[in-house]
Structure 1
Amino acid sequence: MAGSPMMSDSRAGLAASKGEGHRFALVSLTSLFFMWGFITCLNDILIPHLKAVFSLSYTEAMLIQFCFFGAYFLVSIPAGKMVKKLGYQKGIVTGLLIASAGCALFYPAADQAIYSLFLAALFVLASGITVLQVAANPYVNALGSAETASSRLNLTQAFNALGTTVAPYFGAVLILSVAAGAGSDLSHAQAEAEQVKLPYLMLSAMLAMLAVIFYQLKLPVIAEHASGDDRDMVEHLGKTSALQHRHLAMGTVAIFLYVGAEVSIGSFLVNFLGEPHIAGLEEADAAKYITYYWGGAMIGRFVGSAVMQKIAAGKVLGFNALVAGLLVTLAILSSGQIAMWSILAVGLFNSIMFPTIFSLALQKLGPHTSQGSGWLCLAIVGGAIVPLLQGVMADSLGIQVAFILPVLCYSYIVFYGVKGSYPAV
């Protein structure tokens, strides 16, 4: 009978089982968010190291971020199609294996001490991370109700920030501690370049191990995470592409600008803190201060996850972007400790931006959710373009003035949070 206690108990048991399966999946996914945060933040250590080893300009050094985040532009759409075909779990395993291979390629790059080989290894590594992003972000988004998607994604992204918080110390000890005094002599450059071998071989092994673990895990299978209501809405509006949804199209721009701003700031932190009128720190010492920047992002995501249970995600996004822009402006106009701590404090307000923009942009896409995720991950190419532009500005105008570029990025994000993130009705 429809109302029998036995059937009610059965439905309750299935719901409880489903909830436990989702919790297990979310806990498992936190390891992935940690790892790609760790790897991405290591670029901030690689930039000053390879800049010194190969005597690069700021523009040339930013090719590190250009190759890394350029992979998102080239790989995201194919990755979205692959994940749709293979499913989230197999997509995650594939991404881990590709990333592991990319880390392993650092060994021959360091052995030969050729900058272009480092860039190629970074591209392969980033291709794997791209596949992980395309698979894991919408998977987390789908493991629960749409109302708590921003909160849930912020919680898992907090572990991404934990990885970025730990990485600067790891890089400072194993990479930058030996970078001082690097010159143009080939043998000396080769010896300095080889310092990246051990860290990236360790990462390669860890990623391969995670691939084996995720292959064995029994995770919930979500074939298509669109509800019937979502499908009806999409069909009613006659949408044939994710980009026809205004909030997704504008969210794609917001992701581009946010990642560009975040990566630009992180990429220039070591050199900015080394400026005599800012803090005058040696590279290895300055790298440790990056922990405050990324540590703030970690704390902010845990706090933001709780705040967005009570306050609309768009409003929180707009507020954080406004404060971040003001802090960068203060860092441009001041010097010494004020400039130093202003730029480091930006991390706290960056915290919720990526996962919040991501989840807001995926609202009510129905069967276009996978395609929308691919476009959002493609927009991470902002991490390639904006830092390169800031590098050109730093070479011509000075490193401090060049920070005006992130300010402009945050201005758009304020608009998106306050107005652009709401789906058209």
Structure 2
Amino acid sequence: MQTDRHYSNIDDNGAKRPADGLFTKNGASFLLPFAAITACFALWGFANDVTSPMVKAFSKIFRMSVTEGAMVQVAFYLGYFVMAFPAAMFIRRYSFKAGVLVGLSLYAAGALLFFPAKAMGVYAPFLLAYFVMTCGLSFLETSCNPYIYCMGSEETATRRLNMAQAFNPIGALAGMYVAMAFVQARMNPMPTAERLTLPDEEFNMLKEQDLDVLIQPYLFIGIVVIALLILIRLTKMPKDGDAPTDKSLRTSLAELARVRNYREGVVAQFFYIGAQVMCWTFIIQYGTHVLMGEGMEEHAAEILSQKFNIAALVLFTCSRFVCTWFLRYVSPGRLLTVLAVVAVVAVCGVILFTDRRGLYCLVAVSGCMSLMFPTIYGIALRGLGDNVKIGGAGLIMSILGGSVFPPLQAALIDAGFTVAGLPATNTSFAVPLVCFVVVAVYGQRAYLREKKRKPRATAHTE
């Protein structure tokens, strides 16, 4: 016999209505829509992590510095920043489903732009292609994250977000594997120093061959995205959370600005994304430096470094599922704090060790990062009510951290910045170290606020 604890309220006819759960709300099941939208998480995971190794690849292909190669990440994450609020306004006016369809359209367009960029044979069109693609990813993340948040009770929202985000690293692993097996392994192994000495005619021929290899994953994923776009377009999706609001953007922003938990969450997300992108981008430079120090040839060192990068993503994926389970028993803020502190310790090892131990520490950081994005997102959105779409856009805009911090770390590497005789690749990881400290502070402050909250208190009273 069912007891009252299984019901949250009474409907208009006086009948008991099932309580909101992990995938249910107001008596409706969102399991199938959850699965469909979760597929998008894997797709943008692929885009993120097939791109990170391209910093090194573009540097070699166009004979550029690490800083110039890092402009890939600037263009990539700038799209998130530019498009987040327009995406939020679009889904406020239309629907989450419409936002997902626009996002997939831009994603596919950006990926297919790699073909004309290759035909032009210069660096700038590739940056434009990345920018268009990530405008689409911004639409997707602005739509999908709050949509998942609304597909059940607010109490289980952080768990639900972590479950959906667990498929993001699966896509990321696929992206890393493709980057290693179908790009890095097939590019000409000629070292960077030797490329610099080539005559223009030989260099251009080599560049054309390598660009042919580099664009193939993007053309393939563009076709896959188009297929998913058609599937979602033909699928009936729920409209929960799509209720229109008469509230102006200025009013929503003013209300959000008064929520300390949200303000600090945007800052924490900005620093976290910066740390994540740095750790996954510069593991190639770090590993190559360490392995060449052991006597390995540059191309072989790059391939092995990418294998370490894949190991980091495997750990990230496994840790995501484990941490999602822990969230059933541990406060999100407390678990976020613990993992951020462990990440700080691991990054200290990355800085201080100059052999493979440092590389192992860098892999270990990914195990700590697995929980951070969806947990910061879920904590920051708590209690925002009808401001959740605009609030979600602010958190997606904070992905700009992935555009700001990598060039800073790259500049430290190019400048040969050293401390106490440590290599520049090591000391440059002081930048992600600071980022993880910020995340740890936010986690602790969120945990303390949560302890003070009364059972039925809302976020705007915090």
| Alpha-carbon offset, residue 54 of structure 1 | 0.8
> For the aligned residues, what is the CA RMSD?
2.5
For the 8 Å contact 1:166–1:291, the answer to whether it is kept is no
Q: Does 1:35 align with 2:61?
A: no
Greater than 2 Å deviation, 4+ residue runs: 6-9, 11-21, 223-226, 238-241, 276-282, 420-425
Deviates more, 1:323-332 or 1:290-299: 290-299
Structure 1 position 244, deviation (Å): 2.0
- Structure 2 equivalent of residue 255 of structure 1: 269
Equivalent AA in structure 2 for residue 205 of structure 1:
I
The size of the alignment, in residue pairs, is 413
Secondary structure of 2:429 counterpart: helix
Residues 250 and 202 from structure 1, CA distance in 2 versus in 1: closer, same or farther, beyond 3 angstroms?
A: same
Matching residue of 1:161:
169
What is the TM-score with the length of structure 2 in the denominator?
Answer: 0.84
Does structure 1 residue 357 correspond to structure 2 residue 376? yes
In 2, the alpha carbon distance for the partners of 1:295 and 1:20 equals 34
2:166 is paired with a residue of what secondary structure? helix
Change (3 A) 1:21 1:276: same
Instruction: Please tell me the residue identity of whatever aligns with 1:293.
Output: A
Hey, what's the Cα distance between the residues in 1 that align with 2:222 and 2:236?
A: 24
Map of 2:200 onto structure 1: none
The equivalent position to 1:189 in structure 2, one of 199, 204, 207, is 207
Other-structure match for 2:63: 55
1:270 aligned to 260, 281, 284, which one? Answer: 284
* Structure 1 position 404 matched with structure 2 position 434: no
Which of 342, 345, 356 is 1:326 aligned to?
A: 345
Distance 1:200 1:395, change over 3 A: same
Unaligned runs of 5+ in 2: 1-8, 197-202, 418-423, 450-458
CA contact (8 A) 1:47 1:62 kept: yes
Q: What residue in structure 1 maps to residue 73 of structure 2?
A: 65
Distance change (3 Å), C-alpha of 1:17 and 1:217: farther
* Alpha-carbon distance in structure 1 between the residues aligned to 2:332 and 2:20: 31
Pairing 1:215–2:220 present = no
* Mapped partners of 1:170, 1:386: distance in 2: 25
Greater fraction helix: 1
Deviations 1:333-387 (A, max 9, x none): 0122211110011111100000000010001111211111111111100000011
- Report the Cα offset of residue 243 of structure 1: 2.3
**Larger relative contact order, structure 1 or 2 (CA cutoff 8 Å, min sep 6):** 1
Given the alignment of the two structures, is residue 413 of structure 1 paired with residue 439 of structure 2, yes or no?
yes
Conserved 8 A contact 1:148-1:309:
no
Shift of 1:225: 7.6
Equivalent AA in structure 1 for residue 190 of structure 2: G
1:387–1:194 distance in 2 versus 1, CA, 3 Å: same
User: Which among 363, 370, 384 is matched to residue 403 of structure 2?
Assistant: 384
For residues 315 and 42 of structure 1, what CA distance do their matches in structure 2 show? 32
Q: How far 1:21 sits from its partner (Å)?
A: 3.2
Q: TM-score, normalised by structure 1?
A: 0.91
Deviation at 1:17, TM superposition (A): 9.3
Query: Does the alignment pair 1:308 with 2:317?
Result: no
Deviates more, 1:277-286 or 1:179-188: 277-286
- Cα drift, residue 158 of structure 1: 0.7
How far apart, CA to CA, are the structure 2 residues paired with 1:405 and 1:19? Answer: 47
Q: Deviation digits for residues 290-337 of structure 1, max 9, x if unmatched?
A: 111111111111111111111100000000111011101111101222
Residue 136 of structure 1: aligned partner? 144
* Structure 1: unaligned runs, 5 residues or longer: none
Q: How do 1:343-354 and structure 2 match up within 5 A? A: 343-354=362-373
